[in-house]
Chain A
Amino acid sequence: MSPNDAYLMLATFLIPLGTAVLLMLVPSKERSAIIGITALASFAMFVIALYLFVNYDFEGPQFQGVKAWTWMENAGVLGERGIQLKVGMDGIAAPMVLLTGIVIMPGTWVSWKLHHRTKDFFILLYLLVAGVFGTFVMLDLFFFFLLYETAVLPMYLLIAVWGSTRKEYGAMKLMMMLVAASILIFTAIFAIFTEAGLGTFDLPSLFAADYDPRMQKIFFPMIAIGCGTLGGMFPFHGWSPDGHASAPTAVSMLHAGVLMKLGAFGIIRLGFQILPEGAAFWAPALIFIGITAALYGAISALRQTDLKLMTGFSSVSHMGYVFLGLGTLNVVGMTGAVLQMFAHGVMTALFFLLIGGMYDQAHNRDIPNFSGMAKQMPIWAIFFILAGLASLGLPGLSGFVAELHIFVGVFRAYPIVGGLAVLTAAITATYLLRMFAAAFFGEFNPRWSHLHEITWAERAGAAVLAIAILTLGLWPSPWVDRISTTLAQTIPGVAL
């Protein structure tokens, strides 16, 4: 990766930011202009993300395409290179950037059919995406947190204005929990800054600094819980099923697909990379939380009848795998955790896209109300089954690759937990197949004969996500190479 790729990283969050500003200037009536601008912007983001992922050279240095523009230094507590706009990517950020690029494009496409304040919706959505991209490529702790919050805040309006079913409640709950969690991260960031004593927010310098082990043990849980809340970590997952259920389609897609990964990414960046000893100390707790969440989410999902709630609990379960993988403290398991972030991202985005495509017509998501839907909407059903099979860990699809790494990693460290983790995959299969059998198969319920096949935009979006699912499932090396090399290089104390 050449140093000039730094400008492309800058572009990943300046494009959505610029688009948001540009949209403010476009009159709301100009729908075709809005569609044209967002089509271009989302395509550009996708291409840049793909380019950055492909060009990340896993045999090169850890951080690539690094470039910094100093903003403030030598003032007050700040020393040399105090706060800078510094971009750069490692092998963990690379797949996350790709994920965001993959999800935002279909997310944009399916939102074109919104007719209520379309322009405002896109402004907020792109602000959120700017925050997400920014967090992934930022190598300065100050901007990292700033953009992290930028990604979270638009959620409130997006849900409260464009959502459905108890949207005000869902939006408020989500916002309150996430803001409360951010306070913990905020506190930990200042502790890290002070303890390092370098007078800089530069992340690579902070990675290299020494921290008192006791301090690490105190502040790692703050980061784990703070970021973990956004990652849907049990028992701080309460916002997630309700939030997903009430959010509009594209927001659910981005939220479950990308934003939750931001939380897990934060745990790796701030927790594992800055405070490795704290992480090592608390790793068994992550294992415990991870396996509990995996089982708990899966068992809860068995009982859900609302499709979105089921997917929401399924997300809690799948994110449990991420924490499980992180807790293994070996490269295989942690690689699995990052793979799972990607795999769950594309898969859940596909789920929510499809649920949205059906809900917009039927205004109903209750599984027992449906039967034989494969007759009326075969393409929809095929994509749904594909996503479901990825979710239950069928080999050849993305979920299996990620879960396999996690299982193997966990078996190395804690064989019995590993057994439970594999069992969870069987429970996942149970709730998904019950849903398939009930809703897609059997005699067609003529009540739904007015429903149409999903739109072309939705089909194209689903196809993009399906291709991502199949690619990772059949050819995982590009992901595994990047992730595992970075993990082995950067997290001290992690065994192969």
Chain B
Amino acid sequence: MGMEQVVLLPAIPAAIFVVLALFSALLPRRGDWLAILGMAVVVVLALAVAFHFQDFFALGEFAPGGENAYAFDWLNLGNGTFQIDFSTYVDAITVVMLIVVSVVALMVMIYSVGYMHGEPRYGWYFAALSLFVAAMLTLVTAGNLMILYFAWEAVGLASFLLIGFYWERRSAAEAAKKAFLTTRIGDVGLLIGIILLWREAGTFDIQEIIHFAEAGGFDEKYLTIAMLFLFMGAVGKSAQFPLHVWLPDAMEGPTPVSALIHAATMVVAGVYLVARMLPVFDVVLVARDVVLYTGLITAFMAATMGLVANDIKRVLAYSTVSQLGFMFVALGLGSPTAAMFHLFTHAFFKALLFLGSGSVIHATHQQEVEHLGGLWRKQPITTWTFVIGSLALAGMIPLAGFWSKDEILHAAKDNLPVFIVLATTAGLTAIYSTRLVMLTFFGEPRDRHAYEHAHESPPIMTLPLLFLAGCAAVAGFVVYDGVGKALGFAGGIGKLIYGHEPETFHFDRDLATFALAVAGAGIGLGVIYWWGRAERATRARSWAPELHALLVNRYYIDDLYQTLINRVVLGAAAVVAIFDKRVVNETGVDGGAQTIGWLGLRLKFLQTGRIPNYALAMVGGIVTLSLVAFYTS
């Protein structure tokens, strides 16, 4: 498959979206098979792209930076003055994203057949998922920042539609709105950043911008500002502090959607964007430091919030935010390989965890951990796959998360403060993931009713779980050259991602031992603490009530924003609205009309109807005009 045909990848789900959105009611099974079939084709094509790419690499023909393929001019004003061409760009980062997006999307769609069975708007659900996949694939193959922005907004729209899938629920409608508006704030920055880059470089083409920046074409201050604006987009989409507030609420969407969009793919778009533009960030290190510290703050904060959340999906949402923070830290340290590697492994184990939680919710209709417990007897497959995902998240050897987290810690080892925060967060990760597993699957059932009715999910749901559990177990091994070669990726993940300057995997025995010790301590602590009876689950909050309240209330950030919106934004709006009504309208327009009316009322008395009055006025006029004429001539 040539690179010119990459544009087919998004075209297939896009076509399926149109068909399903318009005609799903006419199709058997509302067309779910069509969406899945299309997705399977996309997986095959994505693998074909990967192998083709690898051929190039192996033969030594691989051009540094990847392959640009021009598709068509979308817009061309004044012969290139303002030009947007629909071009695709494929390099190792794209390949990783293509595999992640297509494989996880396929699993989620298969799982959804079971999970969404009997839901109203079943056809629309698959249509919206296809729209999302089309937009996401466009995003990762775009060779042009404007096309990327296009897709960026389109994935946001799909996310909005799917979070609000159960729109009859007020909370879902509000969550969809919050997600859209919060990410929109980031998108304002992204668009400004893109236009600022265009203003100097004169092009939207990503590679040309990178070359322009590397050649020193930008003023440094200007570029810093532009890149910070660009980064705002990533902060919004990837739910980083301070725009992280929408992601936990986004859990109102159907669980498979959370797995696909709000764990594995869309939320990593920000990571992808920064990784894609990293050569430009490398030119202005101030901006790269902002990426680093944003990621660090987010990773830590979100992990602490994950410790106390009670909704099984919310714990996973905080975990996602925290893990995305890890990826940004890696990017901020200038190690895109580590970031993309973690993105790759995280996609599998987090999708697995979400689908596992969906299986629990499907069986018990409960998602508060306080009402769960002891499910391992009822749901063995869900439990053990969930445990695998959870251990991978905690960073247990030899599961996928261990390798990629170790890589990020390795990148941070020269920066002690960052390293300490990361290691602490890794410990917290182990604790909260263990807490979640213990409370959900082990111990005494706390809600007998939910427990009695629980059952293992049908195979159409457990098979994706098993597949993803397999991925979560082995995805980390691609770091080894041998494994990479066997899979067709000569040189493993390091060379795959940064082929032109091979970055080999750094396996440091001491560091790995330390990381394992932290993870093991966290897991051990979690198991010991939450093992056993129900009251343990709730006892934690009495240990430090203020701290617990702070964390449960998410550091009061959501409340702060709500107050700001209510008081400041709507307050300003009220002032402007009143100004418009009273000053512009009643004083300016109506007032003007009334003044004329009033003048008419008064001045009509000049119209006396008496000839002498008019004669006098006439004489006065003649005299005045004569004087004017006399003095001006």
User: Using a CB–CB distance below 8 Å, which chain A residues touch chain B?
Assistant: 173, 176-177, 235, 237-239, 242, 296, 299-300, 302-304, 313, 331-332, 335, 372, 374-375, 389, 394-396, 400-401, 404-405, 407-408, 411-412, 415, 418-419, 422-423, 425-426, 429-430, 433-434, 436-437, 440-444, 476-477, 480, 484, 488, 496
Contact of B572 among A177, A299, A441, A442 (CB under 8 A): A299
Chain B residues near A441: list those with CB within 8 A: 164, 167-168, 170, 172-173, 176
Known interface pairs A437-B173, A440-B167; 9 further A-B residue pairs with C-beta atoms within 8 A, sorted by A's residue number: A173-B590, A238-B584, A242-B585, A405-B77, A411-B196, A412-B199, A426-B188, A441-B170, A442-B168
Is there an interface contact between A437 and B77, defined as CB atoms closer than 8 Å?
Answer: no
Say yes or no: is B81 at the interface (Cβ < 8 Å to chain A). yes
Chain A residues near B181: list those with CB within 8 A: 426, 429-430, 433
| Contacts of B560-607 to chain A: CB distance below 8 A | 569-570, 572-574, 576-577, 580, 584-585, 588-590, 593
Is there an interface contact between A496 and B173, defined as CB atoms closer than 8 Å?
Answer: no
Contacts known (A304-B577, A407-B195, A408-B195); A394 close to B153, Cβ less than 8 A: yes
Chain B residues near A434: list those with CB within 8 A: 177
Is there an interface contact between A300 and B588, defined as CB atoms closer than 8 Å?
Answer: no
Chain B residues near A331: list those with CB within 8 A: 77-78, 81
Whole-angstrom distance from the CB of A194 to the nearest CB of chain B? 22
Is there an interface contact between A408 and B168, defined as CB atoms closer than 8 Å?
Answer: no
| Contacts of B147-180 to chain A: CB distance below 8 A | 149-150, 153-154, 157, 164, 167-170, 172-174, 176-177, 180
Whole-angstrom distance from the CB of A364 to the nearest CB of chain B? 20
Is there an interface contact between A488 and B584, defined as CB atoms closer than 8 Å?
Answer: no
Contacts known (A299-B572, A332-B82); A443 close to B170, Cβ less than 8 A: yes
Whole-angstrom distance from the CB of B60 to the nearest CB of chain A? 39
Whole-angstrom distance from the CB of B554 to the nearest CB of chain A? 21
Contacts known (A300-B580, A407-B195, A477-B76); A429 close to B168, Cβ less than 8 A: no
Contact of B573 among A300, A412, A484 (CB under 8 A): A300
Contacts known (A429-B184, A437-B176); A476 close to B75, Cβ less than 8 A: yes
Say yes or no: is B376 at the interface (Cβ < 8 Å to chain A). no
Whole-angstrom distance from the CB of A165 to the nearest CB of chain B? 15
Closest to A385 in B: B161
Whole-angstrom distance from the CB of A4 to the nearest CB of chain B? 31
Is there an interface contact between A299 and B153, defined as CB atoms closer than 8 Å?
Answer: no
Closest to A316 in B: B580
Is there an interface contact between A423 and B188, defined as CB atoms closer than 8 Å?
Answer: yes
Say yes or no: is B198 at the interface (Cβ < 8 Å to chain A). yes
Contact of A433 among B73, B76, B177, B577 (CB under 8 A): B177
Whole-angstrom distance from the CB of A434 to the nearest CB of chain B? 7
Say yes or no: is B185 at the interface (Cβ < 8 Å to chain A). yes
- Interface residues of chain B: helix, strand, loop or mixed (majority): helix
Say yes or no: is B3 at the interface (Cβ < 8 Å to chain A). no
Cα distance A332–B202 when bound, in Å?
13
Contacts known (A394-B153, A408-B195); A303 close to B170, Cβ less than 8 A: no
Contact of A408 among B198, B572, B576, B580 (CB under 8 A): B198
Is there an interface contact between A394 and B157, defined as CB atoms closer than 8 Å?
Answer: yes
Say yes or no: is B191 at the interface (Cβ < 8 Å to chain A). yes
Whole-angstrom distance from the CB of A98 to the nearest CB of chain B? 19
User: Using a CB–CB distance below 8 Å, which chain B residues touch chain A?
Assistant: 73-78, 81-82, 146, 149-150, 153-154, 157, 164, 167-170, 172-174, 176-177, 180-181, 184-185, 187-188, 191-192, 195-196, 198-199, 569-570, 572-574, 576-577, 580, 584-585, 588-590, 593
Contact of B167 among A374, A389, A395 (CB under 8 A): A374
Chain A residues near B73: list those with CB within 8 A: 477
Closest to B81 in A: A496
Cα distance A477–B74 when bound, in Å?
7
- Mind listing 18 A-B residue pairs with CB under 8 Å? A237-B584, A238-B589, A300-B577, A313-B580, A374-B167, A394-B157, A404-B146, A408-B198, A411-B195, A426-B185, A426-B188, A430-B569, A433-B181, A434-B177, A441-B170, A443-B170, A480-B77, A484-B78
Whole-angstrom distance from the CB of A369 to the nearest CB of chain B? 16
Is there an interface contact between B150 and A396, defined as CB atoms closer than 8 Å?
Answer: yes
Contact of B154 among A242, A396, A401, A423 (CB under 8 A): A396
Closest to A424 in B: B188
Contact of B82 among A396, A400, A408 (CB under 8 A): A408
Contacts known (A235-B588, A332-B81, A484-B78); A442 close to B188, Cβ less than 8 A: no
Closest to B150 in A: A395
Is there an interface contact between A437 and B174, defined as CB atoms closer than 8 Å?
Answer: yes
Is there an interface contact between B570 and A303, defined as CB atoms closer than 8 Å?
Answer: yes
Whole-angstrom distance from the CB of A314 to the nearest CB of chain B? 13
Closest to B580 in A: A300
Is there an interface contact between B78 and A302, defined as CB atoms closer than 8 Å?
Answer: no
Query: Which of B177, B180, B187, B585 is most buried by chain A, counting CB atoms within 10 A of its CB?
Result: B177
Closest to B171 in A: A442
Cα distance A495–B119 when bound, in Å?
57
Chain A residues near B588: list those with CB within 8 A: 235, 238
Query: Which of A415, A422, A441, A496 is most buried by chain B, counting CB atoms within 10 A of its CB?
Result: A441
Cα distance A372–B191 when bound, in Å?
33
Contact of A176 among B78, B164, B593 (CB under 8 A): B593
Is there an interface contact between B570 and A480, defined as CB atoms closer than 8 Å?
Answer: no
Chain B residues near A304: list those with CB within 8 A: 577
Cα distance A300–B576 when bound, in Å?
6
Cα distance A401–B81 when bound, in Å?
16
Contacts known (A476-B75, A480-B77); A303 close to B177, Cβ less than 8 A: no
Cα distance A442–B176 when bound, in Å?
11
Is there an interface contact between A235 and B584, defined as CB atoms closer than 8 Å?
Answer: yes
Is there an interface contact between B168 and A372, defined as CB atoms closer than 8 Å?
Answer: yes
Whole-angstrom distance from the CB of A306 to the nearest CB of chain B? 12
Whole-angstrom distance from the CB of B522 to the nearest CB of chain A? 40
Contact of B195 among A299, A418, A423, A426 (CB under 8 A): A418
Chain A residues near B176: list those with CB within 8 A: 437, 441
Cα distance A304–B581 when bound, in Å?
11
Is there an interface contact between A299 and B170, defined as CB atoms closer than 8 Å?
Answer: no
Is there an interface contact between A480 and B75, defined as CB atoms closer than 8 Å?
Answer: yes
Cα distance A480–B199 when bound, in Å?
20
Is there an interface contact between A296 and B576, defined as CB atoms closer than 8 Å?
Answer: yes
Is there an interface contact between B589 and A173, defined as CB atoms closer than 8 Å?
Answer: yes
Is there an interface contact between B78 and A496, defined as CB atoms closer than 8 Å?
Answer: yes
Cα distance A404–B204 when bound, in Å?
13
Cα distance A430–B184 when bound, in Å?
9
Complex A-B, nearest 5 residue pairs according to Cβ-Cβ distance, in ascending order: A441-B173, A302-B573, A303-B577, A441-B167, A395-B150
